[in-house]
Amino acid sequence: MHPVLVDLGFLKLHTYGACMALGFLASWKLVERISGRRDLADLIMYLLAGGVIGSRIAYVIEHWSSEFAANPAMVIRVDRGGLVFYGGLILSMLVFFAWCALKKERPLALADLLCVVVPLGHAFGRIGCFFYGCCWGRISDSPLAVSFPRHSPAWYDQLSHGLIDQSASASLPVLPTQLFEACALFVLFAILVAVYLKWRRHTAGVYLIGYAALRFGTECLRGDPRAAVLGLSIGQTISLCMALAGAAFIAMGRRRDEPDKVEP
């Protein structure tokens, strides 16, 4: 855990924010490289803003009573972590379709391009989560487990549940689910690049199904408090909806592949 990357006294650069910035820049430049387009800068900026705002709104709603009710000013402290990816994805999708409508852009083709790099930026964000200490996993004696230091989110959570006391210098060992998801996202990114370079389509559907599957799995390993819906975490519930959306994208992509029928 290393939440502050640079501390100059009058200026602090948080590792979480730095990881987000690196992910954004890497994704932006890769989109330009694989598409040859230089006219998407505005859209990418809007999507970034929508992603951060949507992620923060979702996190605040889910954790209002435990984190923000007593100190509402903390709502704007995005640099300290506290984002729910699915909230950002939903708002970014709304921004995306609105932009396509205004610019008369083909949404399916553009979605196939942009979805290639979403896992790349997201992976950097998950690394930032690890350095901040949020989104931790279940308590485990696995050799892969890590202990977060005193005053980390995991330490406070275990303290509140009576699992450790105030004298503990670190949390009990927990699974580093942030890094598990980051590794899986890098693999998904590599798959999407291969799919896009070969077919130039279908990546939106593959991304939605692929991420839904890996997120559903990593949610089973998470140890941080999350809202539940019908016995599943809210992340798992949204994952199921995301997988259905991915199947719809692939079906629409196949229809685009079919040659126009000519009446006899």
Q: How confident is the model at residue 207 (pLDDT cuts 50, 70, 90)?
A: very high
Are 205 and 249 a contacting pair, CB within 8 Å?
yes
Q: In this structure, what token pair is assigned to residue 112?
A: 């196939």
Per residue in 16-39, pLDDT (tens digit) is: 888 989 999 999 999 999 988 888
What is the structure's pLDDT at 257?
61
Task: Give the type of residue at 254.
Answer: R
Q: Which of 4-13, 56-65, 163-172, 254-263 has the lowest mean pLDDT?
A: 254-263
Q: In this structure, what token pair is assigned to residue 83?
A: 């984002």
Cβ within 8 Å of residue 63, ≥6 positions away: 82, 225
Nearest to 221 by CA among 144, 151, 169: 144
pLDDT of 237 > 80? The answer is yes
pLDDT of 167 > 90? The answer is yes
Are 102 and 155 a contacting pair, CB within 8 Å?
no
Q: In this structure, what token pair is assigned to residue 58?
A: 């979702």
Q: How confident is the model at residue 80 (pLDDT cuts 50, 70, 90)?
A: low
What is the structure's pLDDT at 264?
37
> What is the helix, strand, coil percentage profile of the chain, to 5?
65, 5, 30
What is the structure's pLDDT at 262?
37
Q: How confident is the model at residue 196 (pLDDT cuts 50, 70, 90)?
A: very high
**Cα separation, 28 vs 254, whole angstroms:** 27
pLDDT of 71 > 70? The answer is yes
**Cα separation, 126 vs 140, whole angstroms:** 20
For range 137-162, the mean pLDDT: 95
Q: Which of 48-62, 146-160, 172-186 has the lowest mean pLDDT?
A: 48-62
The interaxial angle of helices 177-199 and 15-35, nearest 10 deg, is 10
**β-pair partners for 222:** 137
0.95 exceeded by the pTM? no
pLDDT of 6 > 50? The answer is yes
